[in-house]
Each structure stands twice: as structure tokens, then as C-alpha cells.
Amino acid sequence: MSGEPLLKLEDVTRSVRLPDDSELHILNGIDLTVSEGDHIAIVGRSGTGKSTLLNILGLLDRPTSGSLLWRGKDAARLSAKQAAHARGRDLGFVFQQFNLLPGRTALENVMAPLMYASGRDFWNRRKLATEALERVGLGGRLDSMPQTLSGGEQQRVAIARALVRRPRVVLADEPTGALDVSTGRAVMELLDSATVDSGAALITITHDSNVAALAREQFRLDSGRLHPLSEVVVP
Amino acid sequence: MNALARLATGFAAALLEAWQELRIHKLRVLLSLIGVTVAVASLTTALAGAGMARQMMTETLERDGRPAMITTYAFDARSDGGPQGDDSVAQAFEKTSARFKIDYTTMIGRSYDQQVVSQGVALDAETLVVEPDYAPMHRLVMTEGRWLESEDAQNLSPAVVVDQNIIRELGLEGQQLPFTVDLVSNGNAVSVTVIGTSSSRSFGMSGQLWMLPATYEHWFSERAPLNEVSYKMWVPIEGSEELAMHFGQQMQAELPGYTVDSHREDYLMWGADESLKQLALVVSGIAVIILLLGSLSLLNVSMVTMKQRIREVGIRRSFGATTGRVFFSVMMESVVATAVAGGLGVLISVALVSNESLLNMVLATELDQMPPFPLDAALLGMGVSVAVGALTGVLPALVAARVKIVDAIRV
């Protein structure tokens, strides 16, 4: 089981029908394998389908064709409920705009994913969330509201929230997009070390090559196709 | 068991989420729920008020006899007087009621020729000559002391129970029971012992007092013969009319020379009074309209709020919230909110309806006993508010459940 990839995309395409009835092809023939402990960066300009790819990897969206294997299982065969449970249990998301729940403290935000857990995780949610916030250096800001936190602190809350259920894969969509360069670097280092510590795979989507450089594997998404960064010819 | 535990955790978590959501949006929730609170308070007050008024009316009416009450009169064909109560009639009644296995029976003899005198103050009194069963048969509640017992017939000082009017008019409030007063019959005074007092059943400047037949016979009947005598039986409502007819025939057979009339005589013999029910229905109807308007405003606010919360729903879906869970959580927000509003409405209603001075003012009467707040009205108020919450929660819950995660996160 240990050698089995967590995620495997084979010839995945994604297209949408536009109002004028034409078809927009966002992803074309994507192949990607993600295993435990991987740190993958996918770079690309805006509108190249990075977020669409991340949504498919996060079981939030389904490919138009091709296959996505989630821990060896065809994701197309997962029911909506199974996909939701897989997201809650094994996937963590970090968004560009942090997406913290408004009106809730940092602690309540980190506790939020544990509301969908069962058993011990649910009943110990306060303790687990406190520990997660302490790990990202926010042990002193448990009761702070998101609007009172700086951008970097908000993203650290989001990281704690993504990691609190000990996911197997963390998906980060432009995690430094709303931060200045130095804060962004600090956040990425934190995300990298936290996932290394937990053994989770980290997939970062970014348009910042400096952020991508932190990853051990780098890909470029161009015209809906995924290329290893070494193959990419910069125009 | 595992699935059950998961279900319980899910339910607890959904309730918790709903509560957190309400806590965060206190002001919005408060404003949107005013209509529901007012409506539930009105609905509960209408139903509880009508229920209490009905109970009070029933209690008042039952003072003349609890249904079904069969009254029997025996007229001596040889005299032109009122209904008789001599020994032969009493024995015939006793024998016939034993044959029909009647549990509650009493003689009721009345005398209007007596006065109660204490410390030089005299008051006209209606004397009721009754048996111990009279009290439960007529919902006679003692305010102090005790009711008559068979053994009181052996008392060397005649034992009587008097109503509050006698106590008040003779200035005997606060007097320790038992105490004595004089009962004057055609100029002859007999000292009687008051062993208990009951609420007032007489009006104006007169009073009522009760004593056992043997007591009256021994001390008063010679100077003040009873003006009229009847016999009463408290029986189950079903079949009471037929029982009265057969009873009359049997007693008639025991009493040659008498005419026996036995018939049902209680407030329910012509059917229940529906006027209060109709009033409650009208008030409830108005409350339901208020409730609908309140629900519409709640629905309106919930729908607008849900549109603003699409992103939040998307975030929760990314945490692993299933469609069912999102639906249930959003619906629970509405249910929890209306349950709180309903609880508040019921509390307001309890405060209003249980306020004795307010109730006396509204009903323009003085209550002897405050009836308890009807539990069914409180439960109905809570039930209606939870149902309104569930109904108004369905639409926003459907909107939330149909949110496409990818679009929601991008909002």
C-alpha cells in the first residue's frame, strides 16, 4: 500500500461549454502522479487552468475525460458523499485569499474542519486546533478575529486549518498571492516544513517561480498541458 | 453502533454549527425573529387563555354538579308542597342507589329561614343539608379547615362548614378554626361549630353553610323544616339519561303514593359550550397570519443571507461537508433560531397569562384558584415555532446544498 500513488492523473481533460455553445478546452491530456511526501509546484500564467487542475486534484471537480485515481480507486466511481469524506479526511486546502470564515476567531476557524470529523477528533477539536495553531506560531492569537490578523498571520491560520486533520495531500492555490515577498517566502517555508513533518504531499499552484523553486518537482501548465519545468521553453 | 455514533456526532456538530452561526449574526437573527416571537406569544396566549378560561368556567359550572348529575325529586301526591325528603323517601333513594351501585350520592335539603349570628352581627344564610359526598360531587374546595365527615353527626355541638361570605360579613377573618357561632332558627339560637370554610358561592349580603342531615334533623328540623329536598347522584356521562329513567321507575316502585322525577341536571346536558373554542380559533387564526408574515420575513432574510454565504458554504464543502450535512446545518440554523424565538414567545405568554391581576382584569372577575398554565398550549407554541423554522429553513438549505463548490470558492 505504501508504494501506491495517492493521486494519479491519466490523460485528463477538462472542457466547459460556453454560452455561445462552443467548447472551451481548459486542460488537455494531463498526466501526473503524486505520492506520499512529494512536493510539487505547478506554475503557469493566469487563465492557463491551474485552479481547474487543483480542483480536480482536490476532488472538487471531475475531469471531462481521462482518469483520476485516488489511492488506486477511480475517482469517477466515488459518490459525492465518498468524495466529501475523502476531502475531509485526506485533503487539505490553502487558498490565495485565505478563505477564513468571517466572524470566527482563529481557533474557531481551525476547529471548523474538525466539525466534519467523527469520534475523538470531533470531541477533541479545541485541543487539536490549539496545537495546530501553536505549530504555526500563533499560539498567542487563538481568540483573534481574522480582520485583526496580518495577511501572513491569516495565511498561517489557513495552513493550520489545512493541516489540523492530518491530511495526506495539501493543495495550495497561490498561497503567497496576497502576501508581500518576504512574508510569502516565510509562509511557503512554513508550509513546506509542516508537510515534511507530517509526511503529507504538497501541491502548490503558483505563478511565482521563486515559490515554485522551493518544490522538489516543478511543472509548468501551458495551453492546458503540463510540462516538467526543464522541458519548458520560455517564449 | 459505529454508524450510530457517527450520526450522533454529525447531529451534535450540526447543532453546534447552527448555534455558532446564530451567535455570530445575533442582530440579524434578533431582528428577523421578532415577528416569530410575537406570533408564537400571541398564539400561545390565545390558546392558553382560552384553555384557562374554559377550565375556570368549567370549575364554576361544576359547582352546581359535575356531569353527569342525576337529580331525583319525590312529590307526595297527598300534599301540595315541594319535593319531600322524609324517612321513606330517603330509604327508597338509598335502596335504589345501592341496587344501581352508584358510588356518589347525596341528599340536598335547603332551608332559607336561618341566620348566622356572631358578636351581635347577624347574616341571612342558606343552609344546605348534605352528605359527605356532596363536596367531590360539586367541586367544593376548602379554603381552611376540613369538610364534613359521617362521624360529625355524633358531635355534641353541630358541625358546620361556612362560605367566605359569612366569614367576611361577620368579621371573622383570621379566627382560628374551629370556632363557634350561633345559628338562629325562628328565634331559637343554637351554638354551632365551624370546622371548615370554603370559597364563596353566595352573592350579596347572605351566606351559605353546610351540615349533615342527621345534624339538621336533631337540632333544627322542628323549628325550621327544610323548604325543599332533592337527591343527587354523580354517574358516568355515557348512558346517564337511560340510568335516570330506570332509576326513577325503580324508586317510584319503592314509594307508593309519591311521584318520583329523576332526570339529568348539569351544565353539559345540552352539549358543551363552544363559544370559547370559537374565540380561541379566531385569535389563533390571527396569530397564524402573524406567524406566516413573520416566517416570510425570516425566509426573506435567510435567503438574502444565504446568497452572501455562498463562499462560506464552498469553504465548508472543501473541509468535507457533504450535501446532506450542508442542507441539515442550514436548516438547523433556522430551526434553532425559531426554537429560541418560540421559547421566548412562550415565556412571554406564560408571564402574561399567569399574571393573576392581569387575568382578573381581563376576565372581570376574582379568581379563587389560579389555574395552571396549560402545558399543551406551551408545547403547541414550541412545536409551531420549530415547524416554522423547518419550513422556512428548507429553501435556504436547498440553495446552500445546490452550491457548486468550485464556483462557491471562487466567489
**E strand or H helix at A161, and its extent?**
helix A151-163
Range B363-368 contact pairs with CB under 8 angstroms and sequence separation of 24 or more: B363/B53, B363/B56, B367/B56, B368/B141, B368/B143, B368/B199, B368/B200
Please say whether the beta carbons of B228 and B82 come within 8 A: yes
Considering B264, B287, B312, which residue would you say is the last residue of a domain? B264
Number of domains observed in the structure of chain A = 1
* B73 & B57 share domain: no
Residue B141: phi and psi, rounded to 5, are: -105, 130
Same domain for B21 and B110, yes or no, is no
Whether B309 contacts B44, CB under 8 Å: no
Percent of chain B with pLDDT over 70: 93
Confidence category of residue A90, pLDDT binned at 50, 70, 90: very high
Degrees to nearest 5, angle at CA B403 with B401 and B405: 115
* Inside any domain, residue A178: yes
* pLDDT (tens digit per residue) in B146-202: 999 999 998 888 999 999 889 988 888 888 889 999 999 888 899 999 999 998 766
Per-residue pLDDT reduced to its tens digit, A138-180: 999 999 999 999 988 999 999 999 999 999 999 999 888 878 8
For A92, the closest chain B residue by CA position comes to B319
**Which among A84, A113, A115 has CB closest to B17?**
A115
Q: Sorting pLDDT into bands at 50, 70 and 90, what band is A181? A: confident
Q: Is the pLDDT of residue B104 over 50?
A: yes
Select from B225, B247, B264 the last residue of a domain: B264
Q: What is the pLDDT of residue A233?
A: 43
* Signed CA dihedral, A217, A220, A221, A226: sign only: negative
Identify whether residues B289 and B237 lie together within a single domain.
no
Task: Give dist(CA A48, CA B75) in Å, integer.
Answer: 111
Same-domain pairing of B194 and B103: yes
B50, B143: one domain: no
Express each pLDDT in B302-313 by its tens digit: 888 888 888 889
Residue A104: inside a domain, yes or no?
yes
Q: What is the pTM of this model?
A: 0.67
For the cut 60, the answer to whether the pLDDT of residue B260 exceeds it is yes
Which residues of B touch chain A, with CB atoms under 8 Å apart? 5-6, 9-10, 12-13, 16-17, 20, 24-25, 311-312, 315-325, 405-406, 409-410
pLDDT tens digits, B133-143: 999 999 888 88
Q: Give chain A positions within 8 Å (CB) of B322.
A: 80-81, 84-85
In a domain, A234, yes or no: no
Looking at the fold, whether B157 and B247 belong to one and the same domain comes out as yes
Q: How far is CA B109 from CA A161, A202, B71, B112, in A?
A: 87, 99, 12, 10
In a domain, A3, yes or no: no
Pick the most confident of A125-129, B223-227, B366-370.
Answer: A125-129
For residues A122 and A1, what is the distance between their CA atoms, to the nearest angstrom?
Answer: 27
Question: How many Cβ atoms sit within 10 Å of the Cβ of residue A82?
Answer: 15
A187 and A179 Cβ atoms separated by less than 8 Å: yes
Task: Give yes or no: residues B41 and B157 share one domain.
Answer: no
Interval B363-403: pLDDT, tens: 666 565 677 788 888 898 899 889 988 988 999 999 999 88
> Is there a contact between B101 and B227 (Cβ–Cβ < 8 Å)?
no
In a domain, A29, yes or no: no
Q: What CATH number is attached to the domain comprising A123? A: 3.40.50.300
Residues A55, A34 contacting (CB under 8 angstroms): no
Residue A124 lies in a domain: yes
Q: B320 and A81 in contact by Cβ < 8 A? A: no
Residues B161 and B55 in one domain: no
Q: Does B302 share its domain with B391? A: yes
Residue numbers of the domain that contains A166:
37-61+80-228
The whole-angstrom separation of Cα B333 and Cα B29 is 10
3-state secondary structure of A84: helix
* Chain A residue closest in CA terms to B323: A81
Question: Domain containing B24: what range?
Answer: 2-61+273-410
The Cβ of residue B363 has, within 10 Å, a number of other Cβ atoms equal to 14
Is the separation of the CB atoms in A53 and A30 below 8 Å? yes
Burial of A23 (0-12, 13-18, 19+ CB in 10 A): exposed
Residue B159 neighbours by CB under 8 Å, 6+ apart: B148, B152, B192, B193, B195, B211, B212, B215
| Domain finish residue from B264, B299, B324 | B264
* The total number of structural domains that make up chain B: 2
Distance from CA of A61 to the nearest CA of B (A): 7
Q: What is the pLDDT of residue B255?
A: 87
pLDDT at B297 over 50: yes
pLDDT average, residue stretch B66-79: 87
Written as one letter, the residue type at B50 is: A
At B396 the pLDDT is 92
Range with the poorest average pLDDT among B10-19, B51-60, B150-159: B51-60
Hey, which residues 45-64 in chain A have their CB within 8 Å of chain B? 51, 55, 58, 60-61
Find the CB nearest B319 among A88, A102, A103: A88
b/e burial code for range B2-23 (CB count within 10 A of at least 16 → b): eeeeeeebbeebbbbbbebbbe
Residues in chain B with CB shorter than 8 Å from the CB of A88 are 319-321
Mutate to test the interface with A, among B319, B332, B411 (most CBs of A within 10 A): B319
- Domain co-membership, B250 together with B287: no
Q: How far apart are CA A232 and CA A219, in angstroms?
A: 9
Strands B228-234 and B69-76: antiparallel
Cα B233 to Cα B197: distance, rounded to the nearest angstrom: 24
Q: What pLDDT shows up at residue B73?
A: 92
- Percent of chain B at pLDDT exceeding 90: 35
Give residue B8's pLDDT: 84
Of the candidate ranges A66-75, B128-137, B230-239, B289-298, the one whose mean pLDDT is the lowest = B289-298
- Partner B, chain A 92-121, Cβ-Cβ below 8 Å: 93, 95, 99, 101-104, 108, 112-113, 115-116, 118-119
Do B326 and B406 reside in the same domain of the chain? yes
Query: Within a domain: residue A146?
Result: yes
Pick the residue from chain B with its C-alpha nearest to A80: B322
Q: If DSSP codes are grouped into helix, strand and coil, which group holds residue B211?
A: strand
B48 shares its domain with B105:
no
